[in-house]
Copies of this chain bind each other. A is one copy, B any other.
Amino acid sequence: MSHFDDLMDYERQTQALAQVAGRLSWDQETVMPRGASPQRAEESEAMEHVLHARRTDPRVGEWLAEIDAETLDPVGRANLRHIQRAFDRTNRVPVKLAGEIARVTSSAQRSWAEARAANDFKAFAPVLAKVVELKRAEAQALASGGDPYDALLDDFEPGATATELEAMFDALRPRLVALRDRVMGADHQPAPLSGTFDESRQMELTQEIARAFGYDMEHGRIDKAVHPFSSGSGLDVRITTRTSATDPFGSIYSTVHEVGHACCEQNIDRDYLLTPLGQGVSMGVHESQSRIFENQLGRSRAFTGWLHGRMQEVFGPLPVADADAFHGAVNRVTQGFIRTESDEVQYNLHVLLRFDLERDMIAGKLAPADLEEAWNARFEADFGVKVDKPANGCLQDVHWSVGLFGYFPTYSLGNVYAGCLMKALRNAVPDVDASLAEGNPRPATGWLAENLQRHGGLYEPREVITRACGGVAPSEGPLLDYLEAKFSEVYKL
């Protein structure tokens, strides 16, 4: 066996253990008994210790030093690149700190859920302060002199920097604000879909739509959780959703969103199973798939035309005049507090708020105890309304409680990528709307699987998007063009 084969065998076991650790998180969010929390914290910490020890094992460093990348094929070189990067990153974080982060975030997540239910930020603030303290220490260790926030960001979007993102977001913001103002001031305001909708039928419809978009239930399952998410890679990729009797779109579109994530894992070349290439390459690329599934495809006029009919079959007559009014109900732009329920026009404004606040927390400019106040002030400035309760404000997202800093901006980057990909997809699959109108997104999702998802970690994030777009590098233009065209039509601007 060559050093490379040894390394890949070793990496395969590490990947398998990482899948186990990920499934432990899935379990915690879906089925874990409430009282198990303290024990689970120790279990998660023990798994983190094992993974950290494997990732920092001197043998990996020795193998990496011995292997000549020039002797490998492109797949081998890509694997080596991922392993080297992960090895370098992991070795910078002390094992004790990594273990403490795992333990603290495991119980912090429970504290967050309780504080959110009780609408009590003060109960969560000291827990968040501890998480931020640990993440700042981790960022310092990772950055080794560079920008601490970029060091965290790099874990989710290799190669991206806050400075670059800020420039992109600066270009996004004015046209989004202008579009929102026009939409909010429009004479034509689509009505919402009112009524109550049986939640078990919602779950059934959600499964049907998940399958239609390409979710493979032989290698996945759908459960309920507080926060919808996708979990796992390879042959076991699970998603969660939530239902509300008065908001069937919440369940449908959060599911389609998570199906985008799940397909980004399920459709990777099976040759890459349990290797570093067997996972979506970055959160931005991941989010590009969840958002294009959810919005450019799922909320298109063509697909909502089909959904309008299907929902009447499932729930009986709907209180909307026609498919056009239904399309308007799906795409309404309204004042709202919750990022995950936000419309396409305002969504990125939610993200920019979090991006700035978390950069300030990591930079030490914003004390976690002051987060609620800072959030509420910024929200009122950006959205024109006061936050009414923490569950609608700074306690709405799970991310920070589990230590995810540097993750939020990848949502907007994903939207930018989705804009670029949709433009390319329309060129490549001209009849995409005809299929969507029949409730069949497969020509579209199949193109994405073939041109993007199957590559897994073979290419760097920017490169794989550029390749899928026929050599055109990603920019915010196509997303803005798409949004302006779509909402001008919906709102008859």
A interface list, Cβ under 8 A from B: 12-13, 16-17, 19-20, 23-24, 27, 31-40, 42-43, 45-47, 49-50, 216-221, 223, 234-236, 238, 273-274
Contact = CB atoms under 8 A, between A and B. Distances in A.
A219 B32 CA distance: 9
A236 B40 contact: yes
Contact of A42 (B50, B216, B274): B274
A50 B47 CA distance: 10
A128 B204 CA distance: 39
B16 A221 contact: no
17 contacts: A12-B42, A13-B42, A16-B39, A16-B45, A17-B50, A20-B43, A20-B47, A23-B27, A31-B31, A31-B223, A33-B218, A33-B235, A35-B219, A37-B235, A40-B236, A42-B274, A50-B50
Contact of A16 (B16, B42, B223, B236): B42
A273 to B, nearest CB: 7
7 tightest Cβ-Cβ pairs between the two chains A and B: A36-B236, A35-B218, A16-B46, A39-B235, A35-B219, A13-B46, A16-B43
Contacts of A218: 33-35
Contacts of A223: 31
Given A16-B45, A23-B24, A33-B218, 12 more contacts: A13-B49, A20-B20, A20-B46, A20-B47, A31-B221, A33-B220, A35-B216, A35-B219, A35-B235, A39-B273, A39-B274, A42-B274
Oligomer copy total: 2
Contact of A17 (B43, B235, B273): B43
Contacts of A49: 13
Nearest to A35: B218
A421 B213 CA distance: 58
Nearest to A236: B36
A39 B218 CA distance: 13
A467 B236 CA distance: 48
A225 B19 CA distance: 23
A187 to B, nearest CB: 50
Contacts of A50: 17, 50
Contacts of A23: 24, 27
Nearest to A30: B31
Contacts of A221: 31, 33
A240 to B, nearest CB: 12
The residue among A13, A24, A216, A223 with the most chain B CB atoms within 10 A of its own CB is: A13
Nearest to A218: B35
Nearest to A237: B33
A33 B219 contact: yes
Nearest to A38: B235
A31 B217 CA distance: 12
B36 A219 contact: yes
A23 B32 CA distance: 10
Nearest to A19: B43
Contact of A39 (B34, B37, B47, B234): B234
A39 to B, nearest CB: 4
